Amino acid sequence: MLFSEQLRKAVDPIWEASFHHPFVKELGEGTLDLRCFRYYVLQDSYYLTHFAKVQALGGAMADDLQTTASMANHAQNTYEAELRLHETFMKELGITEEEKASFVPAPTAYAYTSHMYRSAFAGHFGDVLATILPCYWLYYEIGERLKHCKPKQPIYAKWIEAYGSDWFRQLVEQQIARLNDIAKTVSEKELERMKQHFWISSQYEYLFWDMAYKLERWPIEEEDVYANERA
């Protein structure tokens, strides 16, 4: 069994929970509250900004220039395709420049990006790939599951189209193959560490849907702090 197959099997219960999360199901049905999607777009734009940086870090850690160039291309794709798509969503959802300027990441978004950086700085290129791959792979599988859905909300249809595309599938398959190649060259201890990264990222992917569906907030907001100071 390939290393990627071992990983996919290990996280199947977590991914099934993502497939059946109400955020994902209602997005496909077109019934998701736009407030939840609006919140998701802001948080995911923050996440993707750091995701691209971790992709670039991975490229710098690669052993050969071809892989470095490929990871740089992946980072560029994150910006040119996904982040630009989010920028389009922001305009359609009426998200203002003031809202962007005052944005604060939610606890889950902040924790997930911190997990990615920790894996990158404490490990090697294989750790980076194992950490970021669930985001690629899970979104592709969700896109495949939803691609025959016809939500009446145009924004949801665009989201499904992006992640169920052949272009996105090729990116996913490239990273899976790269991870399998690395798995052949590292120790059992390193493989176990990579498995843990993959498992934790899969958990965070589920938590990300949940965060957006529940409009997650910090327990004590910044305005609460200021209000206490003025009291």
Instruction: Just list the catalytic residues.
Output: 135, 205
Instruction: Using the Cα atoms of residue 18, residue 171, residue 50 and residue 196 in order, give the sign of their dihedral.
Output: positive
Q: Is 77 exposed, middle or buried (0-12, 13-18, 19+ CB in 10 A)?
A: middle
Q: Is 23 exposed, middle or buried (0-12, 13-18, 19+ CB in 10 A)?
A: buried
Distance CA 45, CA 34 (A): 16
Contact status, residue 138 vs residue 12, Cβ threshold 8 Å: no
- Cβ neighbors of 107 (< 8 A, separation 6 or more) are 211, 216, 218
Contact status, residue 131 vs residue 112, Cβ threshold 8 Å: no
Distance CA 185, CA 188 (A): 10
Alpha-carbon dihedral of residues 151, 155, 157, 162, nearest 10 degrees?
-160
Three-class DSSP category at 137: helix
